[in-house]
Amino acid sequence: MAVVIPAMLFARGLMSQFSSINAMTAGFGFFVWEAVKIGVSVAMLFAAPKLIAELNWLAMLIGLVVTMKVYWVALLMRPKLKQMNKS
């Protein structure tokens, strides 16, 4: 959740009307929402031990890394899906 929820906030922020006014606003919005995403991720990681009594840090960090790497798997699979639809 420390990856998915901040990523959803980031995507929602980039899709707002304010972010698409002009190129400079869009660029500034990208950096602002990236900072928000990082801040929310860090806050969720710090809150995890208080919310989960017997937290296994190694399992949490492995899950965090695997979740972040799924973006790359989805990106690599995307061209294959397009090629399959054309056939």
Task: Read off the pTM.
Answer: 0.69
Contact 41, 6 (CB under 8 A): yes
What is the residue range of 24's domain? 4-86
The reported pLDDT for the residue numbered 81 is 52
Structural domains counted in the chain: 1
d(CA 79, CA 22): 30
pLDDT, tens digit, for every residue of 45-82? Answer: 889 888 888 988 898 889 888 888 887 777 777 765 55
